[in-house]
């Protein structure tokens, strides 16, 4: 079994607020991510890549080192959690992407982050 299949990513998102900036309405969302290492060896998260899409179909990509300024090592059968956020020009959007990780020997592998919804709950019926 590939190591990437033993790493799971769980996401919980929430609407934070609506705000005005430069005569434009923006919608602020938060998300909390839990990365679970179900393998018998430690792994390290080195990079992230996000594809962010608003409900108008506008897309942006974000790529960079680690998450929230960290490149955490996740011990065997352990987990790592962090919170972050994103701002949209629409009340609904999605995010998806991948974490680029390495195993204990330095072998790289990717872990997919399935699309998740960021929505102002007053818009969901």
- SS3 percent helix, strand, coil of the chain, rounded to 5, is 5, 70, 25
Per-residue model confidence (pLDDT) at position 109:
96
The H helix count followed by the E strand count for the chain is 0, 8
Per-residue pLDDT of the chain (125 residues; tens, 9 = 90+): 578 899 999 999 999 999 998 999 999 999 999 999 999 999 999 999 999 999 999 999 999 999 999 999 999 999 999 999 999 999 999 999 999 999 999 999 999 999 999 998 776 55
Residue 41, SS3 per DSSP:
coil
- The structural domains of the chain, with segments of one domain joined by +, span 3-123
Nearest-angstrom CA–CA distance, 107 and 72? 16
Per-residue model confidence (pLDDT) at position 50:
98
Q: CATH: 2.40.30.10, 2.60.40.1470, 3.40.50.300, 2.60.120.260. Which one for 3-123? A: 2.60.40.1470
Whole-prediction pTM: 0.91
Q: For residue 6, is it left (φ>0), alpha (ψ between -120 and 50) or beta? A: alpha
């Amino acid at each position: 079994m590939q190591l990437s299949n033993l790493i799971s990513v769980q996401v919980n998102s929430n609407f934070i607020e609506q705000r005005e900036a430069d005569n434009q309405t923006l919608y602020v969302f938060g998300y909390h991510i839990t990365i679970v290492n179900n393998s018998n060896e430690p792994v390290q998260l080195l990079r992230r890549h996000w594809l962010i899409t608003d409900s108008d179909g506008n897309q942006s990509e974000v790529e960079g080192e680690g998450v929230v300024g960290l490149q955490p090592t996740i011990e065997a059968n352990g987990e790592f959690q962090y919170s972050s956020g994103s701002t949209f020009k629409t009340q609904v959007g999605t995010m998806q992407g991948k974490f680029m990780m390495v195993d204990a020997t330095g072998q790289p592998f990717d872990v997919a982050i399935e699309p998740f919804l960021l929505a102002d709950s007053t818009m969901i019926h």
